[in-house]
């Protein structure tokens, strides 16, 4: 399957973000709204916006997106806020292509280290495996972060 990575289309991609997030089964309604808010900020903010998006085209449609940005005053540190792939196309290399393209964009912007935060619940075990398989390591665990028994796992990777 051919995967093409592209930038944000402010006219069409708001619908794509919503569709992809809702198809995944991973995100609560308030998280879907957060993704929409980040998209609106990126659409309105231009190149200096905290939130940057890349989209994947595969199988004749927009199939996934990545959202990333600098870690505040962290200088060389960046966050990958979101990576989501349409549920019907998961496991086809789209997430990996988006992650690598995001890392390339971060490097081009002077970033050196990427942080990814995620839940410790069973639902996210495949996500943990995805990140470790892409060279990320578990750097920290914040216990009972989201709810009692649902810890925040922070993965990281040096790009340079």
| Domain harbouring 76, CATH code | 3.40.630.30
Q: What is the pLDDT of residue 74?
A: 65
Q: What is the pLDDT of residues 32-84, one digit of tens each?
A: 889 988 898 888 876 667 889 999 999 889 999 999 999 977 689 999 999 99
Q: Cα separation of 106 and 128, whole Å?
A: 21
pLDDT band at residue 111 using 50, 70 and 90 as cut-offs: very high
Q: What is the pLDDT of residue 18?
A: 92
What residues contact residue 110 under an 8 Å CB cut-off, 6+ apart? 76
Is 0.85 surpassed by the pTM of this model? yes
Could you give the residue ranges of the DSSP H alpha helices within the chain?
13-24, 29-45, 94-108, 125-133
Residue span of the structural domain in which 69 resides: 4-158
The angle formed by the CA atoms of residues 126, 108 and 19, to the nearest 5 degrees, is 40
Instruction: Say how many domains are in the chain.
Output: 1
Mean of pLDDT values over 110-128: 95
């Amino acid at each position: 399957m051919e995967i093409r990575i592209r930038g944000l289309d402010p006219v069409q991609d708001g619908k794509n973000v919503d569709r992809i997030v809702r198809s995944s089964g991973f995100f609560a309604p308030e998280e879907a709204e957060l993704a929409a808010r980040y998209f609106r900020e990126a659409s309105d903010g231009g190149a200096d916006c905290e939130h940057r998006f890349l989209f994947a085209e595969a199988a004749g449609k927009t199939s996934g997106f990545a959202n990333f940005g600098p870690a505040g005053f962290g200088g060389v540190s960046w966050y990958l806020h979101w990576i989501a792939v349409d549920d019907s196309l998961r496991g086809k290399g789209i997430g990996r292509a988006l992650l690598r393209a995001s890392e390339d964009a971060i490097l081009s912007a002077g970033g050196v280290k990427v942080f990814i935060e995620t839940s410790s619940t069973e639902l996210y075990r495949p996500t943990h495996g995805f990140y470790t398989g892409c060279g990320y390591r578990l750097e920290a665990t914040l216990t009972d972060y989201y709810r009692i028994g649902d810890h925040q796992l922070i993965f990281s990777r040096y790009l340079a």
